[in-house]
Amino acid sequence: MKVLVAVKRVVDANVKVGVKSDGTGVDIANLKMSMNPFDEIAVEEAVRLREAGVASEVIAVSCGVAQAQETLRTALAIGADRAVLVESAAELQPLAVAKLLKALVDKERPSLVILGKQAIDDDSNQTGQMLAALAGLPQATFAAKIVVARGRATVAREVDGGTQTLSLQLPAVVTTDLRLNEPRYVTLPNIMKAKKKPLETLKPEELGVDVTSRLKTLKVSEPPKRSAGVKVADVKALVEKLKTEAKVL
């Protein structure tokens, strides 16, 4: 059974980003880039399935600029068997990525596609759902546990106030939530081994996909600055301020 895992190159989760002065977007020039954290969880889960003998091959896929090769090398170091970069300098919105992944699903015929629940740069939480719709596959989002057996995936999903368990017929699309697993650290020997693993590069045109943006960003702005607080002399003053100044937002 093949598992396809989607990994996105995003600004590292520990880096503080700022808005460009012209308000057209977030300034990511010269910032540390890493694999989207939910995608690390996705790769880890796929590799665990292969290590358990459930999956036979793990293919990592990234769509974006040439530097996304580094992200794919990380996926290979975690344990993916091979990688595919769909290279494009265009800004790829979730629908474009979902179409590219759908084309790869048609080409590779994986039994399971694992994505992150969301990319921490755009916070869209759309790509997995769109892929499932385009490919006509069952989906389980926000997975906290995945068990694959007898042609089905049993997925425990994080939902408000609890866990929902779904049984999906394979092939299926699953998106990861934080509690699914704790990704391993990549070791130096595995980083070295990853350099020799196959990494194929394709262009969107080769997959017959038009990646033109369907959405136009009108403006990106910083959240309003919080104004400084005041110290009150005593509880009486605090109660007074709560009565007269505090507002329900």
- Which spans of this chain sit near ligand AMP (rule: CB under 6 A)? 6-8, 36, 38-39, 42, 61-64, 92, 94, 97, 115-116, 118-119, 122, 124-128
Q: Give the nearer residue to ligand AMP in terms of CB position, either 91 or 240.
A: 91
CB 146 within 8 A of CB 154: yes
Q: Check whether the bond before 183 is cis (ω within 30° of 0).
A: no
- Report the residue number whose CB is nearest to ligand AMP: 116
CB of 227 to ligand AMP, least distance (A): 32
Looking at the Cβ atoms of 111 and 141, the one nearer to ligand AMP is: 141
User: Residue 202 corresponds to which tokens in the numbers above?
Assistant: 């394709």
The first and second tokens of residue 48, run together, are 């665990």
Total Cβ atoms within 10 A of residue 243: 8
Least distance CB 165 / ligand AMP (angstroms): 22
Nearer to ligand AMP (CB atom), residue 116 or residue 138: 116
Category of 87 on φ-ψ map: left (φ > 0), alpha (ψ -120 to 50) or beta: beta
Task: Quote the CA–CA distance of 7 and 196 in Å, as a whole number.
Answer: 19
Minimum separation from the CB atom of position 168 to ligand AMP (A): 18
- Shortest distance in whole angstroms from residue 37 CB to ligand AMP: 9
